[in-house]
Structure 1
Amino acid sequence: MSLTKYKEQLHPTLKKYFGYDSFRPQQETIISSVLEQKDALVIMPTGGGKSICFQLPSLIFPKTTLVVSPLIALMKDQVDGCNANGIAAAYFNSSQSSEEQQEIITKITKSELNLIYVAPESMPALDNILNETYISCIAIDEAHCISSWGHDFRPSYQQLGFLKKKMPNTPIIALTATADKATRQDIVTQLNITKAEQFITSFDRKNISLTVRPADGRVEQILNFIDKRPKSSGIIYCLSRKTTEQLVSKLKAKGLKADAYHAGLSFDERTKVQENFIFDKTKIVCATVAFGMGIDKSNVRWVIHYNMPKNIEGYYQEIGRGGRDGLAASALLFHSYADVIQLRRFTEGASNQEVQIAKLERMKQFAEATTCRRKILLSYFGELLAENCGNCDVCKSPPQVFDGTVIAQKILSTIARVKETEATGVIIDVLRGAKNAAIIEKGLETIKTYGIGHDISWKDWQHYIIQLINQGYAEIAFQNHNALQLTAFSKNVLFNAAKVSLTKPIEALEKIGNPKEKATKKKKTGDLFERLRILRHKIALDEDIPAYLVFSDATLQAIEQFRPMTDDEFLEISGVGQRKLEVYGDLFINEIIAFNKEKKDKKTDTHKVTYELYQQGLTIDEISEKRNLKSTTVYSHIAKLYGDGKPINIYDFVTKSEVEAVKKAKIALEEPATLKPYFDHFEEQLDYFKIRLALAVLDKEK
């Protein structure tokens, strides 16, 4: 097929399978490059639309696209999402029986699959089909895993360089949300795609508000935060398994639906937690960092970091799991020096220890910033933001600066008087005049500065000490039990009257996140939105898929706003493709009609117009043409009119044997609420409109 022909297919394919009228930045260019058989490295933020860059070409290529994904547990979510859009996809891994695996291989040899997802560890079992006879394209998802410079290195990824050698004419597209220059170079080198064009889109996720808070009382702060968002889903990232378990216990004690996710759980336990979260049975997951990679759950409204991440790449990727639908989301990070110290310990002995420490330092600088946080975040990835973002805590509440010279002198003098041998906690205890065992045993109550800061709270002293460290007036001797030590600048403050500016502490329990979030939700989500959400939930339960795979929250909001009454109008909604129109369209349209009827909306006359034309003797095709509606919409009107008791010759449109077949299927399937189970039952041989008409007959009989 010619490239021109390929390009003519791009927009129709995008709308039919994904429901979008236009591509996001660079998507079309990337897809065109892949279709031209060129290698590509794609750096695109989480939620930026990476998957479409290989899923859409897979619908145009004649053979199967191989997708390498790092975690077996996450493939099902990807495959379910494809299947929900009418894309033939499957995964291949060790959890399947040999019969299941052979069936998948057979489908690949017959070009019956658009996409096959596989983990690196399972690649040897596919060796017989890993050639250009069966594979059109190769996608390496989460490609940063291949690089020891990356933040989530996986040795199993380093074997993937053989793919280009084995299939030199097959395009390879490597994709990741986060990769600095060193990691990007490592990816293309190890995959043997050194000539790959690099596509780097904007890292700016404007819909995510960024907030950092001191870690004091963080459980109370988290409960306060969640209380303001009672119906929303979120992820809380923790450094240790123990912390996830303890936090879950505290959340459950407050009646919240929460689960822990970490490597100490069995594969089945982790899978269960993940599925409960995806299916909205669990609202909150407290997890170590592995959770969330590759999950397309679009309605995660917030992400909390209970502990500070070890680098900006990890932080950026994790907060990106919130707000994938483009609606407002919140990212809250708790920062403490205890976390910094623990993370430094983790780096000890690592082969790239210096790199890890440097990245941790950048993360710490982000957490302690007094300037626009988004500017810092984006600059790390080489993207410059001209204006302050207005959607981070620093922009919303700029810190108040004051002359902190006297406070600085008290701190530095105390550090000097304890001979630079004590850590932050002891320094604060001396300043506040504490009488605990450590102070008494060391005789520190006798030094001159003991008790001179009793009028300032412990956490405020901590806030000021952190600022002095950041400004270079003191430093932590990590090798000496984290003792605070003076620097070359300290003398200027103590003896040369140098001035020190400090910022006042921020009240930890003040409102966190996007203040407009609640107002926006109230404005947009009325009674109809809730009804659409309930309908979506019923469909999801019936089809055993996550609710967001039916429609995202953003699509539901658009449906509520525009209230489509016809198939054509429904297709205009972003996120509605041809397949979802056929499967769900009439259910949502009928819900809108019922809602409007209750509100006495004049739009409910649409069925009446169809009935009048039917009475005039027009055929379905004639009514469809006259009303500029799809025939499937007219058939849904006929089914509704028949159910409402209008004199419709229903058997003009569906045979008695078809009604009988649907009746048997209804019993066998235990009366599913949606049409898809019937459609699958009849192996796609009975049209949706026939099923709909037959059900109308059966409902009337009942």
Structure 2
Amino acid sequence: MVASLDHAREALRATFGFDDFRGRQAKVIERTLAGHSSLAVMPTGAGKSLTYQLPATMLQGCCIVISPLIALMHDQLRSARANGIRAATLTSADADWRETQDAYRAGELDLLYVAPERASQPAFRDFLASSPIALFAVDEAHCVSEWGHDFRPDYRMLRPLMDAFPEVPRLALTATADRQTRGDVLAQLGIPEDGLVLAGFDRPNIRYAIRHRDNPVRQIANLMAERPGPGIVYAQTRRKVEDLADKLARETGRKVLPYHAGLDPETRAANQAAFVASEDMVIVATVAFGMGIDKPDVRFVAHVGVPKSIEAYYQETGRAGRDGDPSAATMYWGAGDFATARSRLAEVDEDRRSAERARLDALAGLVETPQCRRAVLLRHFGEDPPETCGNCDNCLDAPAVTEVTELARKLLSAVYRTGQSFGMGHLQKVLTGTEDDRVRQRGHDRLSVYGIVEGEEARLLQPLGRALQARGDLVPTEHGGLALGGSAREILKGEREVAIVVPPKRQRRGRRGSDEANPVGDPLFEALRELRRDLASEAQVPPYVIFHDSTLREMAETRPASMEAMGRVGGVGGKKLEAYGKRFLRCIAEN
């Protein structure tokens, strides 16, 4: 007999401590329990892992979860076991692989996590045949598509494995897949088109902001002051990661550690473990960091430089606020970021170059838009959002848009007349008629463009230069100068108009405003957090594995006085009630 959604809700309360499903979870779980295959596109923080963990406890056999990173598997393993789910990982880092294989053969596992490299091997297929399989769950499924932003060839080898067990349903999961990628994932994993469950991409608790980068240490230190709690700062090179981590630690007094592939494995693992376990640490990392963790209480993600694409930006910023509490995603960009990215397009295979250029253009559009950032993001993924969201920098503090076609023609003319080999600093001196030895030595003080810009126009040269570089109308030369590109010649001929965003002067905020996630000053809440820290230390797991902040807030508000009342608090399932209920009740009674 097929389990119903009512049975699933009972299991949800018993295992996870929640009364009902969120968003499209119910639809995905209903299809899985009925034996249908699905591709679930759900935003980060929407509870994707629950859509296979819950059926795994209800169906006969073991759910095989294919996941791209060992750290991510181990993180999810801790959370699953904390909820009483019989789970194991089979990776190169596990010394207990024989015991895990024996437990699988004996039918003693609900979940088995493996990497695609292992899953695609014929020997693993033979091993799986030794016990019933309930479900194949493919996490980060966009990795199977060449159109996806994070293509992994080993994901292409999963179809033969699943085809060997045709009666087992398949569940592919991703947070980041545009229309083209979704179609490719369905085809590559053998999931019918009517199996697509689209939950939307909006993350309303994240406040998006994009600013020009002028002093990243000061800018991020201010962000850290505004957003207490764990944070991730993404930088583009190992050297920048090390430099930023050192300077931010000295500037703020907070614990700030680096993470990049150049660190020795022990240091890298220790820094990641410290971040996962902390309630206020900041980690500065290259973009590889984050895919391997499922930390729910990250309060901000900052980019020092532009990411590869809107898809990458969405995924990386999605690591903030997975617990649903208010969080920030702030990007600090410079014109050189786009110049570097566009110069790298020449290294991309020719058949992918136009697609990558389109992605970069879309990212430039997000950076430059005077409109709602969230609306631009959601439209990119095929949604039809409201014109404003009320929770991004442009909605909260609308920028002015200025028509600068004539100034653009002056700047592009100066680029052309100086030989297309000088940077913005030199071009500004020429255009504003600045007395300068280098300008005179090159004879640029005798050009027709010398001294033709003054007053308000002079102040707009820098943002105009950034905008033209972001759009590809100015492109870098190999020696660091600027040359005409994109639509530059159309602009010069008067065939295209140019407008740019002039950001408003920002007022310094003296307080955090209404984004307060935790009831600071409530002694009971702080006592509950302290108890959670102690329990996490005893169990050697991160604090959020014990309970999320939202669960502690509900405890502080409702003050349950019995095990029955504690069991009604959201996030307190049967296993956790048994393990921790009495100690939290005692804490509440004493405070």
Normalised TM-score (structure 2): 0.91
Corresponding residue of 1:247: 244
Cα deviation digits, residues 539-581 of structure 1 (max 9, x gap):
1111111001111112112221222222222222211111111
Q: 1:194 to 1:312 in 2, by over 3 A?
A: same
The equivalent position to 1:329 in structure 2, one of 327, 330, 353, is 327
- State the SS of the aligned residue for 2:22: coil
Corresponding position of 2:109: 113
Percent identical: 36
Q: Partner residue of 1:488?
A: 490
Asked if the contact 2:71/2:293 (under 8 Å) is kept, the reply is no
- Evaluate the alpha carbon distance shift between residue 457 and residue 215 of structure 1 in structure 2; reply closer, same or farther with a 3 A threshold: farther
The CA distance in 2 between the partners of 1:192 and 1:119, in whole Å, is 19
CA separation of 1:332 and 1:361: change in aligned 2, threshold 3 A = same
- The answer on 1:375 being equivalent to 2:375 is yes
Residue 291 of structure 1 pairs with residue 293 of structure 2: no
Q: Are 2:263 and 1:265 aligned? A: yes
Change (3 A) 1:512 1:314: farther
Q: Could you say which residue in structure 2 is the equivalent of 1:73?
A: 71
Which deviates more from structure 2 when the two are superposed, residues 309-318 or residues 179-188? Answer: 179-188
Structure 1 residue aligned with 2:545: 549
Partners of 1:38 and 1:196 within 8 A in 2: no
SS of 2:184's equivalent in the other structure is helix
Tell me how far apart the structure 1 counterparts of residues 521 and 88 of structure 2 sit (CA, whole Å): 36
Paired position in structure 2 for 1:530: 526
Equivalent residue, structure 1, for 2:139: 141
Q: Deviations over 1:81-122 (max 9, x none)?
A: 10111111111111223xx21110110111111101111222
Partner amino acid, structure 2, of 1:301 = R
C-alpha distance 561-233 of structure 1, shift in aligned 2 (>3 A): same
- 1:132-531 correspondence runs (5 A): 133-194=131-192, 197-229=195-227, 231-254=228-251, 255-280=253-278, 283-351=281-349, 352-402=352-402, 404=404, 407-408=407-408, 410-415=410-415, 417-418=417-418, 422-434=422-434, 438-451=438-451, 453=453, 460-467=460-467, 475-477=473-475, 482-484=482-484, 486-492=488-494, 502-507=500-505, 510-511=508-509, 515-517=513-515, 520-521=516-517, 526-531=522-527
Greater alpha carbon shift after TM alignment, 407-416 vs 578-587: 407-416
Kept in 2: contact 1:370–1:398 (CA 8 A): yes
Q: Which amino acid aligns with 1:76?
A: H
SS at match of 1:353: helix
Equivalent position SS for 1:276: helix
Distance, in Å, in 2 between the alignment partners of 1:350 and 1:531 is 54
> Aligned partners of 1:248, 1:166: CA distance in 2, in Å?
48
Tell me, what secondary structure is at the counterpart of 1:348?
Answer: helix
| 8 Å Cα contact 2:44-2:322 kept in structure 1 | yes
Task: Tell me which moved more, 540-549 or 564-573.
Answer: 564-573
Residues 225-281 of structure 1: CA deviation (Å, up to 9, x unaligned):
11233x410001122222111111111222331122122234333322221111007
Q: Which has the higher contact order (CA 8 A, sep 6+)?
A: 2
User: Following superposition of structure 1 onto structure 2, how do residues 556-571 of structure 1 map, counting pairs within 5 Å?
Assistant: 556-571=552-567
Q: Which moved more, 1:126-135 or 1:540-549?
A: 126-135
CA 1:438/1:84 → structure 2, altered by over 3 Å: closer, same or farther? farther
Q: 1:592 aligns with which of 585, 588, 591?
A: 588
Report the number of matched residues: 582
Alignment partners' CA distance in 1, 2:161 and 2:527: 49
Letter in 2 for 1:75: M
Bigger mean CA deviation after superposition, 116-125 or 34-43: 116-125
- The alpha carbon displacement at 1:328 in A equals 0.3
Partner Cα distance (1:294, 1:207) in 2: 22
Distance 1:447 1:361, change over 3 A: same
Preserved contact between residue 136 and residue 162 of structure 2 (Cα < 8 Å): no
- Structure 1 residues 6 and 504, CA gap change in structure 2 (3 angstroms): closer
Amino acid at match of 2:36: K
Query: Cα–Cα, structure 1 residues 283 and 523, in superposed 2: closer, same or farther, change >3 Å?
Result: closer
CA distance in 2, matches of 1:522, 1:192: 45
C-alpha displacement of 1:18: 1.3
Looking at structure 1, the residues matched to 20 and 439 of structure 2 have their Cα atoms a distance apart, in angstroms, of: 66
Distance 1:108 1:371, change over 3 A: same
Q: CA deviation at 1:282?
A: 7.0
Deviations 1:199-247 (A, max 9, x none): 1102111000000000121221111211233x41000112222211111
Q: CA deviation at 1:369?
A: 0.7
Q: Which amino acid aligns with 2:56?
A: S
CA shift for structure 1 position 516? 2.4
Larger Rg: 1
Q: Which amino acid aligns with 1:487?
A: R
Maintained 8 Å contact 1:6/1:60: no
Letter of the 2:154 counterpart: S
Of residues 60, 66, 88 in structure 2, which corresponds to 1:90?
Answer: 88
Give the aligned residue type for 1:566: S
Pick which of 264-273 and 554-563 moved more: 264-273
**Which whole-Å CA distance do the structure 2 matches of 1:408 and 1:137 have between them?**
58
Tell me, in whole angstroms, the C-alpha distance in 2 between the residues paired with 1:170 and 1:430: 69
Unaligned runs of 5+ in 2: none
Cα distance, 1:221–1:455 mapped onto 2, change above 3 Å: farther
In structure 1, the gaps of 5 or more residues are 596-702
Hey, what's the Cα distance between the residues in 1 that align with 2:239 and 2:508?
A: 28
Letter of the 2:254 counterpart: L
Aligned partner of 1:130: which letter? L
C-alpha RMSD of the superposition: 2.7
Question: 1:28 and 1:503, CA in 2 relative to 1: closer, same or farther beyond 3 A?
Answer: closer
1:343-394 CA distances to partner (integer Å, 9 max, x unpaired)? 2233323231221111111011101110011100000111111241010000
- Matched residue, 1:64: 62
Q: What is the Cα deviation at residue 479 of structure 1?
A: 6.7
Distance 2:514 2:102 in 1: 53
CA–CA distance in structure 1, aligned partners of residues 217 and 507 of structure 2: 11
Deviation for aligned residue 1:451: 4.5
Contact residue 421 and residue 484 of structure 1 kept, 8 A:
no
Structure 1 window deviating more from structure 2 (108-117 vs 503-512): it is 503-512
Report SS of the residue matched to 1:487.
helix
Q: Are the equivalent residues in 2 in contact too, given 1:423–1:484 (CA < 8 A)? A: no
d(CA) in 2 for partners of 1:34, 1:105: 25
Structure 1 counterpart SS, 2:196: strand
Distance 1:429 1:525, change over 3 A: farther
Aligned counterparts of 1:458 and 1:238: Cα–Cα separation in 2: 31
Partner secondary structure for residue 588 of structure 1 = helix
- Please list the CA deviations of residues 598-631 of structure 1 after superposition, one character each: whole Å capped at 9, or x if unmatched: xxxxxxxxxxxxxxxxxxxxxxxxxxxxxxxxxx
2:13 is matched with which residue: 12, 15, 24? 15
Partner residue, 1:603? none
Distance (whole Å) between structure 1 residues aligned to residue 189 and residue 499 of structure 2: 50
How many Å apart are 1:416 and its aligned residue? 5.1
Structure-2 change in CA distance of 1:457 and 1:156 (3 Å): farther
Question: Is the CA contact 1:463–1:505 (under 8 Å) kept in the aligned structure 2?
Answer: no
Paired residue for 1:575, among 562, 571, 577? 571
Q: Which moved more, 1:413-422 or 1:69-78?
A: 413-422
Rate the CA distance shift 1:62–1:217 in 2: closer, same or farther, 3 A: same
Distance 2:67 2:438 in 1: 52
Once the two structures are TM-superposed, the CA of residue 132 in structure 1 deviates from its matched residue by 7.6
Q: CA deviation at 1:469?
A: 6.7
Rate the CA distance shift 1:502–1:178 in 2: closer, same or farther, 3 A: closer
